[in-house]
Amino acid sequence: MDYHIVSYPAVISEEAGKTKVHFPDLPDADVLDDNKWNALMRAEIGLALTVIDLESHHEEVPQPTDLEKVIEEFQTDGVQVQAITTDLDEY
């Protein structure tokens, strides 16, 4: 099996009672959900599908920004930054 694992920084915040997961490098993978656990799970799937879509159309997949840079730019009270990792071979 060929493993194709990717990891991108994500900004996790609460908006109007919903959890938003924002990928600064790949905003098409952003998700919004009523439940934080579901939002994180959907973010893994959205990340995979976005990268696969770009690759299948021979478009450039941006390199992930360094996690520390994203933390410096986005992390505040109530906003969390973490890496979301997914295995593209699962999709």
Q: What does the mean pLDDT of the chain come to? A: 94
Residue 2 pLDDT greater than 80, yes or no = no
CB burial readout 44-62, b (16+ within 10 A) else e: bebbbebbbeeeeeeeeee
Residue given tokens 């997914």 in the structure block: 86
**CA gap 19, 56 in Å, rounded:** 29
For residue 68, what pLDDT is reported?
A: 97
For residue 52, what pLDDT is reported?
A: 96
Tens of pLDDT, residue by residue over 12-64, are 999 899 999 999 999 999 999 999 999 999 999 999 999 999 999 999 999 99
Tens of pLDDT, residue by residue over 43-57, are 999 999 999 999 999
